[in-house]
Amino acid sequence: MRLGDYTDDYCSRCRRVMDHSVVSISGEQAARVRCRTCDYEHTYRKNRGGKKEMSAKQAFDHVLASVMGSMPSAEKPKKRRK
């Protein structure tokens, strides 16, 4: 890795894995990187950190919950007493 090279890393400002430029190097490894999207400079996280990306079902449930106010619980059929 050299100064100015591009690498993917987790950006805490963008909150996702984005394209970064290497700003400083310590030994053979990048020490600091700058996000090419928001220009935020931070330590190199080796593409770790943040939350995992949502699956399609999780994203749908999240949007549905925000529209309805809360997730509707599945109603169980009532048992009849004899």
pLDDT tens figures, 9-60: 998 888 888 899 999 999 889 999 999 999 999 999 887 765 666 788 888 8
Structure-block tokens of residue 63: 């949007």
C-alpha–C-alpha distance, residues 62 and 75, integer Å: 20
Location of structure tokens 């100015």: 4
The number of domains in the chain is: 1
Within a domain: residue 76?
no
Within a domain: residue 38?
yes
pTM value is 0.57
Within a domain: residue 74?
no
Within a domain: residue 50?
yes
Within a domain: residue 78?
no
Residue 8 φ then ψ, to 5°: -90, 135
What residues have CB less than 8 Å from 74, skipping those under 6 apart? none
Which residue range forms the structural domain that includes residue 46? Answer: 6-68
Location of structure tokens 């030994």: 27
